[in-house]
Amino acid sequence: MANSIDDLKRQAAEKAVEFVKSGMVVGLGTGSTAVHAVNAVGQMLQDGRLHDIVAIPTSESTARNAQKWGIPLTTFDDHPVIDVTIDGADEVTPDLDVMKGLGGALLREKIVAIVSKQLIIVADDSKHVTRLATKAPIPIEVIPFARQPVITFLELLGGRPVWRQKDGQPYITDEKNIIIDCFFDGGLADPAAMAQVLINRPGIVEHGLFLGLTAMAIFAGRDGVEIVTR
């Protein structure tokens, strides 16, 4: 029987967890692929293959899952540098530039990524793209007060912004902000330029373009697991 997409996500995540060693500070990502990594770390702690690790989660949901497994959590006050972070992605280019944030945790994910010695991205092979924003919109975290000005600004950039909703209500992040998903037909010709334009706009807290941060990507596909390094 062919592997399901969830099976492929699990395979990629479990391969990534092989890079976690005892004594490390570990960043725990958010989303349907990263949850498998959290589960694998928890299982390795319980059966003794790992010990003396502490973790920093990228969302409240990840924190709850980690606590369920008995993974010790810490903060940046005690551990300002992370040894390795394992997280998922919505799109990955051949250069390992990444789009993230459809799971709603992009701000905390980027804070964790930027202080990680090694960021490992795990995904099924459907996440390959040649240009970011081809398959997925750019998730943009925005303070609620700035919603309409930011939407107008994104339209002027040629985007199609959509205010994210959940169960008929505005989606609210862990930091009490909203998310605007912005579609760009044909993707981004210059992601670095777009990233700079977005972060300079008042009201935008963060965006889902993770450029130059990924050390390794692990993809699982029908033909097995592929590891790509920068």
Cα–Cα distance for residue pair 210/204, rounded to 1 Å: 15
Distances (CA, A) of 163 to 99, 108, 152, 168, 206: 18, 20, 12, 11, 15
Any catalytic annotation for residue 206?
no
Residue linked to tokens 């590891």: 227
Residues 6+ apart with CB under 8 A from 77: none
Which one is catalytic: 14, 109, 141, 206? 109
Residue linked to tokens 């905390």: 108
Cα–Cα distance for residue pair 216/86, rounded to 1 Å: 10
Provide the annotated active-site residues. Answer: 109
